[in-house]
Structure 1
Amino acid sequence: MKRNRIIVHIGYPKTATTWFQESLFPNVVNHRFVSWKEANELLLSSDCFNFESTYVRSLLLDNEKNNLIISSEFFSTAINSGFNYGYFSFGISHKIKLAFPEAKILIFIRRQQSLIASAYQQYVKNGGTFGFRRWLYSGEVFRFEHLFYDNLISHYKKLFGDDSVYVYLFENLKEDINAFTKQFCNEHMLEINWEKVNFNPKNRGLRRITIPLLKIINHFYKKPLGRKRYICHIPGMTLIGKGVVKYLNPMPIFGRYLREDDFLKPKDLEYIKNFYSKHNQNLIKYVRRDDLEKFGYFL
């Protein structure tokens, strides 16, 4: 009997997951791609104690290819939901193990200081109003422990085995997306319709004037995205916010795109270094030390 090939891509958030889900994985011709919406419905938004692993497996494998790619960055927990103290990522890992014990697990990581700056911008895009330092340090939205990459990697290796967990650096992808993608697809035996793959990034950051404009708009609707302030709820304001991101933010008149150092000051970097360096040293077991040093991971 031909063995099924099951690939489960769990994030992290802000590591080009949208590009994988919209540009690459839908154009894999020898696997069925399960979108994050379907994956979340079946695996994330189901009760842990009543999870029907046999049903989920039969439902997703009931097709002529019998090879799967499942992708959802929510499996490692959405970056702006306070990590939920690790319960979501821990629980979902066991669901995946029950339904697909033979799965290959793909984990992309990104140096913490870069991911933090990107995640805060996403928080504002999604309706957030907190200033950067309240978002970063209060623990109400973001939690530093979420980016202890070594903990999640070692947990999945214990569940699925060393040879079934693959760890990649977002920075290697960003440095040469074409070369990285071809090597990545060869490694996982993915046959691609390359003519349909768009190598342009899906999400851009915010410009200098866009972010304060969005925060003003965000005060006028209530949305369950974590913690925020709001003055009153005005129907339709969410659409206005999305319009600002889609139509106004690309315009250079709104200033340059924000950089990492627009958010993180020397004190913040020192705190981040002290918080993560010990855990990042453990990453040397999974990725090349030279690459970690090259891309600025605190060690």
Structure 2
Amino acid sequence: MAIVSKRAKAEGMPIIHIGYPKTASTWFQKAFYPHLNSPRYIGREAIKAALADWNALDFDPEKFRKTLGLGEHEAGLISEEGLCGYLHNGGVGGMVSKVLAEQLKQAYPDARIVIFIRSQPSILVAAYAQYVRSGGTRSARRYFFPKDYLIGPNASTYKQPRFDIAFFRYSRLIELYEGLFGAGNVHIFLYEQFATGGVDFLRDYSKRLALDVDWDKVSVERKHASYSHSLMQVARATNLLTARSVQDKTSVVHVPGWYDARRQLLESANRTGLFGRSPALDQLVGKPTADWLRDYYVEDNKRLMQTHKLPLADFEYPIEAVQAPDRPTPGRWRSVLRF
């Protein structure tokens, strides 16, 4: 009987890149995966169609595969950061994240899973910048800690999901997927290694996943930078004129067409570079709260370093507690006005 090599076996297994959001998933979907010779890349529109009317109670693995156009044991690559949970609701207390993981196992039992993670202080800033880009009007503090400002049913994640800082305690999702697919089939990468390594990282990445790439078509040119702190404030003000497209926001009036127009204006302003660089977490929420947030992730990061030997210390992941005091809460006037 012929012995099948590990590489040959890997080349016949589906690959599912589940995220996290804000770890360059969109770049991979637009600038890298379309240039694979093999495995076949399943475009993002297919996964969007498969999830368009998703209901956990009605999930049909065969229908899911048919919509995607990828057979159960067929080699192919799927990429959708929303598969690990939606950025602005933290996977609804992990419920959506967990159910989707279990359903992916039903649909593709022998899949290999790709997970990118990013330093929490950095990804928190990126998440808030995305919220503002998408029409958000709330402060960073309210975005990170909505329960400080909401009352009644709105304050319960179970009843009214909002952003959740626990979404970026990565070990829980990683261990969930390892339990389902096997530790050897879950591949973890650091966003920072991609951001600093460029083509060298991509070549190593491709070797690890057995990807055949048309390298002549690959460019690592970076997309536009995140908004600066001052441009975020301008964006929040302009977002008051549109009801789109995030949930936890307010609007004075909805001006039809303004959402797209204001986005074009803001992106043009951002490309000039006149508004400065992306802010640090301290600038968004103040140093005491930023220190508390760093401490919040320390134990989870230590766990990942111990179990997966990831070089988190090299990329400013919080791994040493600064012993921040209790998290500062909003003053009375902020709490009353709830912004």
TM-score relative to the length of structure 2: 0.81
CA distance in 1 between partners of 2:74 and 2:127 (Å): 35
2:227 matched to 1:206? yes
Match of 2:61 in 1: 53
Deviation at 1:48, TM superposition (A): 1.8
C-alpha distance 297-70 of structure 1, shift in aligned 2 (>3 A):
same
Amino acid at match of 1:88: V
Deviation at 1:61, TM superposition (A): 5.0
2:113–2:187 CA contact under 8 A, matched in 1: yes
2:210 matched to 1:189? yes
Match of 1:128 in 2: 136
2:282 matched to 1:274? no
Q: Which runs of 5+ in 2 are unaligned?
A: 148-160, 320-339
Amino acid at match of 1:28: L
C-alpha distance 32-232 of structure 1, shift in aligned 2 (>3 A):
same
2:111–2:185 CA contact under 8 A, matched in 1: yes
Match of 2:24 in 1: 16
1:18–1:202 CA contact under 8 A, matched in 2: no
Amino acid at match of 2:233: P
Match of 1:35 in 2: 43
Match of 1:149 in 2: 170
Q: Secondary structure at the match of 1:9?
A: strand
Match of 1:265 in 2: 286
Name whichever of 8-17 and 27-36 sits farther off: 27-36
1:17–1:73 CA contact under 8 A, matched in 2: yes
Counterpart selection for 1:108 from 116, 139, 157: 116
> How big is the alpha-carbon RMSD for the aligned residues of Structure 1 and Structure 2?
2.2
C-alpha distance 46-83 of structure 1, shift in aligned 2 (>3 A):
closer
CA distance in 2 between partners of 1:222 and 1:60 (Å): 32
Write out per-residue CA displacement over residues 72-131 of structure 1, whole angstroms, 9 at most, x where no aligned residue.
110111222243111211111111101100100001101111100111111100000001
Deviation at 1:296, TM superposition (A): 1.5
Deviation at 1:60, TM superposition (A): 3.9
Match of 2:312 in 1: 292
CA distance in 2 between partners of 1:142 and 1:96 (Å): 24
Q: Secondary structure at the match of 2:256?
A: coil
CA distance in 1 between partners of 2:132 and 2:231 (Å): 10
Deviation at 1:267, TM superposition (A): 0.9
Counterpart selection for 1:95 from 84, 98, 103: 103
Deviation at 1:250, TM superposition (A): 0.4
Q: Secondary structure at the match of 2:20?
A: coil
Runs of 4+ in 1 over 6 A off after TM superposition: none
Deviation at 1:270, TM superposition (A): 2.0
Aligned residue-pair number = 296
C-alpha distance 203-42 of structure 1, shift in aligned 2 (>3 A):
farther
CA distance in 1 between partners of 2:119 and 2:103 (Å): 28
Amino acid at match of 2:119: R
2:41–2:77 CA contact under 8 A, matched in 1: yes
Counterpart selection for 1:170 from 191, 196, 199: 191
Amino acid at match of 2:31: S
C-alpha distance 40-82 of structure 1, shift in aligned 2 (>3 A):
same
Q: Secondary structure at the match of 2:77?
A: strand
1:31–1:66 CA contact under 8 A, matched in 2: no
Q: Secondary structure at the match of 1:13?
A: coil
Name whichever of 236-245 and 261-270 sits farther off: 261-270
CA distance in 2 between partners of 1:43 and 1:192 (Å): 28
Match of 2:257 in 1: 236
Identity over aligned pairs, percent: 26
Amino acid at match of 2:121: Q
2:228–2:279 CA contact under 8 A, matched in 1: no
1:15–1:170 CA contact under 8 A, matched in 2: yes
Amino acid at match of 1:230: S
CA distance in 2 between partners of 1:104 and 1:62 (Å): 14
Deviation at 1:142, TM superposition (A): 1.9
